[in-house]
A = this chain, B = another copy of it.
Amino acid sequence: MKNQILELLEKKDYFTIKKILVDLNEADIAEILEEIDENKLLLTFRLLQKDKAVDVFSHVSISLQEKIITSASDKEIKYFVEELFFDDMIDLLEEMPANIVKRILANVKENERALVNHFLNYPDNTAGSLMTIEFVDLKRNFTVKEALNDIRKTGVEKETIYTCYIIDLNRKLEGTVSLRELVISNEDTKIADIMNEEVIFVNTHDDQEEIASKFKKYDLIAMPVVDTEKRLVGIITVDDIIDVIEEENTEDFYKMAAMTPTEDEYLQSSTFQLAKHRIAWLLVLMISATFTGYIIKSFENTLSSVIALTMFIPLLMDTGGNAGSQSATLVIRGLALGTVKTKDYYKVILKEFQVSLFVGLVLSTINFLRIIAFDHVGIKISLIVSITLFITIVLAKVVGAILPIIASKVKLDPAIMASPLITTIVDALALLIYFTLATTILGI
C-alpha cells in the first residue's frame, strides 16, 4: 500500500491517492505516513479529508505531529484544536516544544483556555493527565427517552457514550447508566430507577498504575474521574489504559535491566539521552563489583597456591546470578499483577527454598560429574565447587525472593531489586563461600 501511494505521488496522481485514503483506516494511514519522507508525507497528509486528517493526526508519532503542526496554517491548527478529543490535545500540548504550544494555545477558544491550562497542571501519570472531558452526563429525573434524546443531540462528539454519568446540581457524581441499559429499557423509565449507584471511580490525583488495576479488576471500558469534592471532571477510556499498561510494563523491563525508566521513543532519542539513563546504575553496579573483587583479593594466597580454583569463578557467579534473577523476576511480576502479595512472604520464601534445594541438587550433581569427567582437578576441588554451587543457588533464590518483597513493603518499586542488583549480591556471597570452603577443605 505504501509503495502504491509512493508511486502515485511520483506520478502526481493525487486523485487516485485521495480515493485510496478514503477507504483506509486512520491507524493504517498513520503507519504509512511514518515511513515516507517529510515533504511527501505533508503532501499526502493534505490529501486527507478534513475530519479524517484529525483522526490520522492523533495516531501518528510525536515527531510527525510536530512536523505537521509546524507546516500547518493557523486556520488548520484552529480546525485541529476544535476537532481533536480533549485528551489528545492535552497530550499534544505536553509533548510539543514551547513555540508550537504557543501557536496551538493561540487557537484555543477563549473559554476553553482556562480548562486547557488546568489540565496541563495535572501531574504526569495521574488520572487528571489521562482523562478526557468528552462524556455524556444526565440527571436522575430524566426519563430514558429524554436521556436518549440528549445523547442524540450531544453524543456525536463524545469519545465514549457507552457509559453515561448521572450528576446532581453541583455536578457531584451520583451513578452511571450504560447505553445498553438505556436501549433495552422502557422509554418512560426514570434514570433514577435503572442507574447503578455503586460507581467505581478515581480521583484526579490517583496514580495511573492503580487506575489500570481497577480497569483490570472490574473489566471496565471507561471510568469516571472526580475531584476532591466528588464532582465529575472527566472520564478515562480503556484504550488509554492499554497504553498505560504497556508503559508500566516497559518501565519494569527497564528497571529490571538496570536503566532509569523513560518514555522517550528509542529511535528518536539522542545518544546522550540514551546514555544518561544507563550510566547511573552501571556505575553503582560497577562499584559494587569491586567489592566482589576485594573478596578475591583477600584470598589471593589461596588462589596462588591452587590457581585451578580461578576457572570456576564464572560458573559460580553466572549460575548464582541466574538462579537469583529467576526468583526475583517471578516475585516482582507476581507483585505487579497482584497474584503475590507482601503478606504472602513466608509462602514465597518457603516455596523458593524448596525449589532451590531441588534445582541446587540437580545442578550441582551434574556439575560435579562434569568436573570429574573433564576437568581433572581432583575430587576435593570438584566437591568444593559443587557444594559452593549448591549453597549459592539456595542463597540466590531466597535472596532473590526476599528483596523485592522488602522493597514493596517499604514502598519502593520491587522492580529495582531485579537481576543486576541480586547478581552483585549473590556474586559476593558465592565467592566468599567458595574461598572459605577451599581454604578449609584444602587446608591452605
Interface residues of A (CB under 8 A from B): 23-25, 27, 31, 148, 151-152, 155-156, 161-162, 179-180, 182-184, 198, 200, 215-219, 221, 238-239, 241-243, 245-246, 249-250, 252-254, 256-259, 265-267, 271-272, 274-275, 278-279, 281-283, 285-290, 292-294, 296-297, 300, 303-304, 307-308, 310-315, 317-319, 321-323, 325-326, 328-330, 332-334, 337, 339-340, 344, 347-348, 351, 354-355, 358-359, 362-363, 366-367, 370, 419-420, 423-424, 427, 431
Contacts and interface: CB of A to CB of B under 8 A. Distances in A.
Given A184-B152, A283-B363, A286-B363, A308 B297 contact: yes
B281 A322 contact: yes
17 contacts: A24-B198, A25-B198, A27-B219, A151-B183, A162-B180, A216-B246, A238-B238, A246-B337, A257-B329, A272-B358, A281-B322, A283-B366, A287-B370, A290-B370, A300-B308, A321-B321, A325-B420
Contact of A319 (B239, B286, B307): B286
**Assembly of this chain: how many copies?**
2
A70 B11 CA distance: 71
Most chain B CB neighbours (cut-off 10 Å) among A182, A278, A296:
A278
A281 to B, nearest CB: 7
Contacts of A25: 198, 200, 218
Contacts of A148: 183
Given A179-B183, A266-B334, A282-B359, 9 more contacts: A151-B184, A179-B180, A182-B183, A241-B242, A265-B339, A274-B355, A286-B315, A289-B314, A318-B424
